[in-house]
Amino acid sequence: MEKYKTKVLNWSNILFLLPFALAINYGLYIYALIIGLVLIVSFFFHFKNEPAQLYLLDVLLSIALMISNLVLLFKGYFATPYSIIALTSVFIALIFFFRERRHSYNWNHSLWHIFSAIGSTFCLLTFLFSTP
């Protein structure tokens, strides 16, 4: 079972392809670059059993993505319903992030990835479909 959970962790980043593709499609290349780097670095970080050399880069890129998502929410005027779904997803992601230290790291961190990708997608949709 633990091997399965490790595989889920390794591949849970794949959902970041959705906001990456949306960003490319709508010409948001800086956001696409950030989320693309997050996807690549996080994938290799977990696939290579979390080497110390990638840890800081993984954390810094995650922070850059969080800041970018906040910018998208603000520039999208927190348009509903997208911003509500984004914030709910981020809240759920944070629950799994803080649980991973105490319970089943691989499973909880996988869910952190999944809900973070959903949150990123809806932050992007907030920006794309807002009307000032």
Domain spans, the chain: 2-128
The Cα-based distances of 51 to 41, 45, 47, 84 in angstroms read 11, 6, 9, 35
pTM exceeds 0.85, yes or no: yes
Per-residue pLDDT for 49 more than 80?
A: no
Q: What is the pLDDT of residue 101?
A: 79
Alpha helices in 1-132 (DSSP H): 2-11, 17-25, 29-47, 52-75, 82-99, 105-128
3-state SS class at 63:
helix
Per-residue pLDDT for 2 more than 70?
A: no
CB–CB of 31/2 below 8 Å?
A: no
Per-residue pLDDT for 47 more than 90?
A: no
